[in-house]
Structure 1
Amino acid sequence: MKYKIIACDMDETLLSSDATICRRNIEAITAAIAKGVKFVPCTGRGFRSIEGVLRTLGLYDQADQYVIGFNGANITENKGSRSLFWDPIPFDLADRIFRRCCTYGQCMHIYTRDVVYITNITPDEEAFLHGRMGYVPVEAEDLDFIRGKEEVCKLIVTNTDYDYLQQIHAEIRPLLDDITVSFSSNRYIEFMHKGVNKGAGLWKLADILGVAHEETMAIGDNINDIDMLKAAGLSVGVHNLNPVIRQYCDVVTDATNNEGAVAEAIEKYVL
């Protein structure tokens, strides 16, 4: 199979643990792009927050190159940051979820199209985000500070105790009929509009580009990558994957994210 789109997760997949991209990955991605393959970051972050990644890969402001952001809520062409798809959470619903989650007293992220706001930032979360993503610290217990100004496409509650995040999920389930819930980075529970996920984003981009779904490859490591792995023609898990997602991977690399796992997949199945 000739794969025409590679959809690739960022944290713990493309990025090394220090938030850099290893030389092996850069060289393999560059070679794939030279063959006409679309290398598409498929991330929970927004387009603006991965500008450094795009520059490193030579994709910044490039025409006919794309990013799937906010777990599929946004598809952007890199040239001129042209938005092709945008699906935020209805604002009043986002506000209700945010107010309810604030009662847990945890660090929370509020993702708008261009800005990430964070409440109750902890030293651990600050260290994790260093070099990965910029943000604006705020003190807020509701979303009135952006009402009428910005739309919210994702909310996150942060805690490294997965069971605690599952407890939050169970307790606020009555609010989530129109919401997609996912988990990522072994520290986040994420709330997006219903139907938003990385797999839907991958298929939508493939349809825009006229690429058959079976001509796509997905590379990931964690729970929020499951839909993308299920959607792709070839699903690749990196060696350091969360064991929960192993069943959704056609293959698993020998290399970890620190050893060029993405390059290994590209070398084997594209180059």
Structure 2
Amino acid sequence: MTNTEKRCRVKMIAIDMDGTLLNRHGQVSAENAWAVKEAQASGITVVVATGRSYKEALPPLMAAGITCPLICVNGAEVRAETGEIVRSVPIPPQTYEEAEAILRQEDLYYELYTNRGTFTNDREKAFGVLRDFIQSAFPGTDEQAIREADERRFSTGEISPVDTYAAVLGRSGEHLYKLLVFSRDGQKLARASRRLAAVNELSVSSSANHNLEVTHRHAQKGIALQELADRLGVALEETMAIGDNFNDLSMLRMVGLSVAMGNAEDEIKRACAVVTGNNDQHGVARAIREWALSQNCSKLQ
């Protein structure tokens, strides 16, 4: 059996959300939902791997009728289909203090992701983060739609305003998963990225223009996927991963079949074995049909 043939025998699929499974409206298309459910019905395990928190990830999946394990916050938390937490990798308090000092020195705004939710200490800057993220993942979205999305996430508790982050992190049982850093100053962001990456316990990636996603170095999609695959008894050589951005690279680089979205960054496309359609062309459905359900090796030869 050739490596290509081994790689085509897909038993598990890991799918990113924003810019991948979700279209520009932040929804799972009917075509993508059908393909996911068809894969599950055929015995393939489907896993959603996202930078979102569990609270943020669940609504669009529920709307599409999709139930599956979730790798959340870039791998800082893994949830079983039931919602039970099966993996948790928080940032230690001392490491956060080092990161906070760097961000304060660079005068950079950031949000906290914890086991209990997402928090901001500046409502208007939080809107700026959301706007950048949506316009990057879902180009063409108008300002009013973004404002409405911003209001919804505060009203539903997806993100909560706080006076200080110290008050959040000082609560008993609160575990810090991620810092979402934002700036339109590319040089400042690049400098902060280099400084944060030098902190021993941290991993730094990006999911959109003008942001950094800072997690524990063991909180990466690839590491979480490896542990989940081991738990389920599935080899990574029998796993397909689909993504579009830099926080997907850790899982794309380790699976048997890596699939870049048509809207992915060029570096992501170069790192992958194949490229599918974009997120508004049901690229996930196409990838599942062509390289998982059909077990088609011809395009990988």
Q: Same fold (TM over 0.5)?
A: yes
Query: Which runs of 4 or more aligned residues in structure 1 lie more than 6 Å from their structure 2 counterparts after TM superposition?
Result: none
Aligned equivalent of 1:117: 119
One-letter code aligned to 2:43: G
Q: Which amino acid aligns with 1:259?
A: Q
Aligned length: 263
Q: Which runs of 5+ in 1 are unaligned?
A: none
Residue 216 in structure 1 maps to residue 223 in structure 2: no
**Worse-superposed segment, 152-161 or 9-18:** 152-161
Q: Hey, what's the Cα distance between the residues in 1 that align with 2:163 and 2:98?
A: 17
- The alpha carbon displacement at 1:105 in A equals 3.9
Q: Return the alpha-carbon distance in structure 2 between the equivalents of residues 258 and 22 of structure 1.
A: 8
Query: Greater Rg, structure 1 or structure 2?
Result: 2
- Match in the other structure for 1:43: 50
CA separation in 1, counterparts of 2:77 and 2:120?
Answer: 20
What's the counterpart of residue 169 of structure 1? 193
SS in 2 for 1:231: coil
Q: Distance in 2 between matches of 1:36 and 1:30?
A: 10
Say whether the 8 Å CA contact 1:98–1:155 is kept in structure 2: no
Tell me the CA shift for residue 59 of structure 1: 3.3
Q: How does 1:50-89 map to 2 (within 5 A)?
A: 50-60=57-67, 65-79=68-82, 81-89=83-91
Q: What are the superposed Cα offsets for residues 235-254 of structure 1, whole Å, 9 maximum, x if unpaired?
A: 0000010112222100011x
Q: Which amino acid aligns with 1:191?
A: V
| 8 Å CA contact 1:98, 1:143 repeated in 2 | no
The answer for the alignment partner of 1:234 in structure 2 is: 257
Q: Distance in 2 between matches of 1:264 and 1:138?
A: 42
Question: % of aligned pairs identical?
Answer: 32
The answer as to whether partners of 1:30 and 1:57 remain within 8 angstroms in 2 is no
Q: TM-score, normalised by structure 2?
A: 0.81
For 2:5, the equivalent position in structure 1 comes to: none
1:94-118 CA distances to partner (integer Å, 9 max, x unpaired)?
1331243134444311010130002
Q: Tell me the equivalent position of 1:245.
A: 268
Answering whether residue 213 of structure 2 is matched by residue 190 of structure 1, we say: yes
Matching residue's letter, 2:21: L
> Is structure 2 residue 272 aligned with structure 1 residue 269?
no
Query: What secondary structure, in the 3-state scheme, does the structure 2 residue paired with 1:177 have?
Result: coil
Report if aligned partners of 2:26, 2:60 keep a CA contact under 8 Å in 1.
Answer: no
In 1, Cα distance between the equivalents of 2:186 and 2:24? 20
Unaligned runs of 5+ in 2: 1-7, 135-145, 294-301
Distance 1:162 1:199, change over 3 A: farther
Other-structure match for 2:178: 154
1:2 aligns with 2:24: no
Contact preservation (8 Å) 1:29, 1:57? no
Secondary structure at 1:186's aligned position in 2? coil
TM-superposed deviation, 1:172: 4.5
- The secondary structure found in structure 1 opposite 2:46 is strand
Encode CA deviations 1:70-90: one digit per residue, 9 max, x unaligned: 1111111021x1111111010
Secondary structure in structure 2 of the residue aligned to 1:53: helix
Helix, strand or coil at the partner of 2:227: helix
- 1:264 Cα deviation from its structure 2 partner: 0.8
TM-score by length of 1: 0.89
d(CA) in 2 for partners of 1:4 and 1:11?
23
Task: Check whether the contact 1:95–1:143 (CA below 8 A) recurs between aligned residues.
Answer: no
User: Higher RCO, 1 or 2 (CA under 8 Å, sep at least 6)?
Assistant: 2
Cα distance in 2 for residues equivalent to 1:161 and 1:34: 47
Q: Deviations over 1:249-269 (max 9, x none)?
A: 00011x211110101100101
SS in 1 for 2:215: strand
State the distance in 2 between where 1:36 and 1:57 align: 19
Q: Is the 8 A contact 2:28 2:61 kept in 1?
A: no
